[in-house]
Copies of this chain bind each other. A is one copy, B any other.
Amino acid sequence: MYEGVVQDLIDELGRLPGVGPKSAQRIAFHLLAADPADVRRLADVLVEVKAKVAFCSICFNVSQEEQCRICRDPRRDPAVLCVVEEYKDVVAIERTREFRGRYHVLGGAISPIDGIGPDQLRVRELMPRLADGTVTEVILATDPNLEGEATATYLTRLLLPMELRVSRLASGLPVGGDLEYADEITLGRAFAGRRAAQ
């Protein structure tokens, strides 16, 4: 329908997650009218990100070096390991400034419907990290959804026979939320996990 390369651009943009045909068209028209330098910068950063960004050889966090910032940082506690699904979970946890240990990024969660089992995740790479006794606590910080829970349950079974403290993040009411708007599972967990008032 559109001139060749414009249609190509709309097609490529439409492959991005959350970008439908209408948004792709809108972005394409914006780019057609945009300053060539701006478009060039976007193109360059796309190439650069694939050229420069790799995964940390230890924890599989996103990294521009062989080892990521966190694995290189000697101030991080090597005894505590937090297992997460994705790089963005590392960023979310880092933002809290609550955690001073290290990470292990699985690269997803167990999801039979998508054909993702433990072999598709970096589970095999997790085991050698726990072998020499440096790590004494593993925090399973997978998403509180079906896939995340399945992954945490699988890892719990795998890790419990080892000499390790294995913990899960607390479930409960989100801070700043309204009790009446909480779904029944969250509210149920908030009850089950209730603490003595001080």
- A interface residues (Cβ-Cβ under 8 A, vs B): 1-6, 8-9, 12-13, 15-19, 23, 25-32, 36, 38-50, 52-53, 62-64, 68-69, 86-88, 91, 94-95
Contact = CB atoms under 8 A, between A and B. Distances in A.
B12 A42 contact: yes
Contacts of A31: 16, 46, 49-50
A64 B6 CA distance: 9
A32 B105 CA distance: 14
A6 B39 contact: no
Contact of A50 (B39, B48, B63): B39
Given A39-B50, A46-B46, 20 more contacts: A1-B94, A3-B63, A3-B68, A5-B48, A5-B52, A8-B49, A9-B49, A12-B41, A12-B42, A13-B42, A15-B42, A18-B26, A29-B88, A32-B49, A32-B87, A39-B46, A40-B50, A42-B46, A43-B44, A43-B47
A1 B52 contact: no
Contacts of A53: 3, 5-6, 32
Query: Per DSSP, are chain A's interface residues mostly helix, strand or loop, or mixed?
Result: helix
A14 to B, nearest CB: 11
B5 A17 contact: no
A4 B53 CA distance: 9
Contacts of A50: 31, 36, 39-40
Contacts of A88: 25, 29
Contacts of A38: 15
Contact of A16 (B9, B27, B64, B87): B27
A27 B17 contact: yes
Given A1-B91, A95-B1, A49 B6 contact: yes
